[in-house]
Structure 1
């Protein structure tokens, strides 16, 4: 009986939690109000005043035909700006039409207009995305009219993202970095700015593990290996910072310090040598390195990958300690 009550409580908690999540998601998308009594007049009427907008060759929205949209959905200018009859009759009264300028729609209302069409594929998770939660409007990144940039972005992708993510942009100038500033990669190669199934992970383009995204390019580290390195299997970001680091190979710290966060000093670099004191000048105590210091001195001045080069996994067992598991050696 107690188990049934616990199961019921758990189920109710999940239902309430899901309902709350859906309410929060809905808060980021809202259809803007349409002027009462307005009707559709067609894009030709807009051309009387906005001829330059009507003749734009770079605006893909103007190229959408009526047979490409569901029945009843309008195309042309009024697909975004709403019915324009009152706007036309009022000689351009901006209060009689949906407008997107600084004094126009709120971010959630702008999303309501855009998501009415862009609601599948890469835009599916916009409502629950970090950008939506922080009131980033579609027009913050996209400029619809008079724009020749790819995807109608207001600026080049990396420069646009850097306007807000300045701390991340700074990392791309570290000694070790992905080729972003060189133009061989962009932010959208790894991130979906319109939201993903894992918004807490930085809207990464993966439905599962972070590793699955990394392995799309770094396939040689995928394995399978007989002896696996546990942090590698769990998450690449435990050891690597993909945006850039001072250490080589995008490591969060230099060797051997990054290894010593999990592993104690190795026996051949520390323990075995702890039994021997090194004397540089006989009879001079100041030139004697104590046994306990000598091993750690060696370990701190040695890269672990000199011997353990296969840190992502290996098919070789430990050669020095039988049964000790993976050595991750060459």
Structure 2
């Protein structure tokens, strides 16, 4: 009976997922309306007035062949701007052509044009992306005309992302940060700005966990280890902030405060010192001599990794006292 129910249940989940995706696509991707009765006139007619774009022939959009676009869609200028006859006959009336400049198409209409071709691979999840949901148009990041950038970015990638994500950009100036400003990686090394299919926030370039993305570079922490550190296995971001921190190694806090978030003071740090308080007259606080030295606290509450250096996992136990040495006080 259970086996019979599995297939219908899986099919129902798939149908619900598809319905949600179609709903999102309808919200964030919309085909723009072209001028009534407009017909295609070819790119040469466009260049009679827009002669400044004649040098744009090396643009990848101008070099696409007709068989490379889906459904016999037009190529050249009208592949993006729509049929131009009404625009030409109207003396260049900008209301009779698809415009991507300010005051022209809305963000979802721009996406409707771009996703006509860019609908597979890294672009297929645009409708569910945070950028689409926040009304970011394709043209906010990309400049199609007269642009020598390989990906047609409007600016250098780091400057482009920093224009909106100013808080994250500020973290890049902290003492500990990923080498973005040094030019050894870029934002898209970790993020896909066009959206991802996973449920991990931040549009990360991973199909599964955050850890899988981190381990692409930090493979030495992958293990397996005999003694695993539970937060490491669960999520690297529990201890690290990848955009930059004041603490070393991108730690969210300095030691031992970060460690004490989960680990209360154990037998080393809480062990009684030999120099304990000496009571001269019981019941009289004025006649109590307090300890002058806290050797154990100084030694073991300064930096946990002085002893526990392999915090990501190890084949060695944290201590070798049999029978649970954490209970010792001497």
TM-score range, shorter chain: 0.7 to 0.9
**Deviation by residue 1:81-127 (Cα, 9 ceiling, x = unmatched):** 11111111112111111111111100000000000000011101100
With over 3 angstroms needed to count, the CA separation of the structure-2 counterparts of 1:215 and 1:73, relative to structure 1, is same
Look up the SS of the partner of 1:223 in the other structure: coil
d(CA) in 2 for partners of 1:183 and 1:286? Answer: 62
d(CA) in 2 for partners of 1:289 and 1:14? Answer: 68
Query: Are the equivalent residues in 1 in contact too, given 2:35–2:97 (CA < 8 A)?
Result: yes
**Deviation by residue 1:174-207 (Cα, 9 ceiling, x = unmatched):** 0000001111111010000000123651000000
Look up the SS of the partner of 2:269 in the other structure: helix
* TM-score (structure 1 length as normaliser): 0.86
How far did 1:265 drift?
A: 1.2
Equivalent residue number for residue 272 of structure 2:
274
How far did 1:305 drift?
A: 0.8
Query: Are the equivalent residues in 2 in contact too, given 1:174–1:244 (CA < 8 A)?
Result: yes
What is the Cα-based RMSD across aligned positions, in Å? Answer: 3.1
- Structure 2: 5+ residue runs without aligned partners? 1-7, 281-285, 326-330
Indicate whether 1:289 and 2:298 are aligned.
no
Indicate whether 1:179 and 2:175 are aligned.
no
d(CA) in 1 for partners of 2:227 and 2:312? Answer: 9
Indicate whether 1:135 and 2:135 are aligned.
yes
Indicate whether 1:94 and 2:94 are aligned.
yes
Query: Are the equivalent residues in 2 in contact too, given 1:265–1:296 (CA < 8 A)?
Result: no
Query: Are the equivalent residues in 2 in contact too, given 1:43–1:54 (CA < 8 A)?
Result: no
The within-5 A match list for 1:193-272 is 193-198=193-198, 200-270=200-270
The within-5 A match list for 1:1-330 is 19-20=19-20, 22-198=22-198, 200-270=200-270, 273-274=271-272, 276-278=274-276, 288-289=290-291, 295-300=296-301, 302-322=302-322
How far did 1:63 drift?
A: 1.0
Query: Are the equivalent residues in 1 in contact too, given 2:171–2:245 (CA < 8 A)?
Result: yes
Look up the SS of the partner of 2:227 in the other structure: coil
**Deviation by residue 1:204-248 (Cα, 9 ceiling, x = unmatched):** 000000000000000100111111111000000000000000000
d(CA) in 2 for partners of 1:277 and 1:285? Answer: 16
With over 3 angstroms needed to count, the CA separation of the structure-2 counterparts of 1:76 and 1:12, relative to structure 1, is closer
Query: Are the equivalent residues in 2 in contact too, given 1:46–1:77 (CA < 8 A)?
Result: yes
Query: Are the equivalent residues in 2 in contact too, given 1:53–1:145 (CA < 8 A)?
Result: yes
Equivalent residue number for residue 4 of structure 2:
none
With over 3 angstroms needed to count, the CA separation of the structure-2 counterparts of 1:50 and 1:303, relative to structure 1, is same
d(CA) in 2 for partners of 1:222 and 1:286? Answer: 53
Equivalent residue number for residue 4 of structure 1:
none
With over 3 angstroms needed to count, the CA separation of the structure-2 counterparts of 1:196 and 1:287, relative to structure 1, is farther
Q: Which moved more, 1:50-59 or 1:229-238?
A: 50-59
With over 3 angstroms needed to count, the CA separation of the structure-2 counterparts of 1:199 and 1:16, relative to structure 1, is closer
Equivalent residue number for residue 328 of structure 2:
none
Query: Are the equivalent residues in 2 in contact too, given 1:278–1:294 (CA < 8 A)?
Result: no
How far did 1:36 drift?
A: 1.3
How far did 1:322 drift?
A: 2.8
Q: Which moved more, 1:212-221 or 1:16-25?
A: 16-25
Query: Are the equivalent residues in 1 in contact too, given 2:82–2:97 (CA < 8 A)?
Result: yes
**Deviation by residue 1:13-55 (Cα, 9 ceiling, x = unmatched):** 9966863553133200000001111111111111111122132
Residues paired across the two proteins, number: 317
With over 3 angstroms needed to count, the CA separation of the structure-2 counterparts of 1:285 and 1:186, relative to structure 1, is farther
With over 3 angstroms needed to count, the CA separation of the structure-2 counterparts of 1:42 and 1:297, relative to structure 1, is same
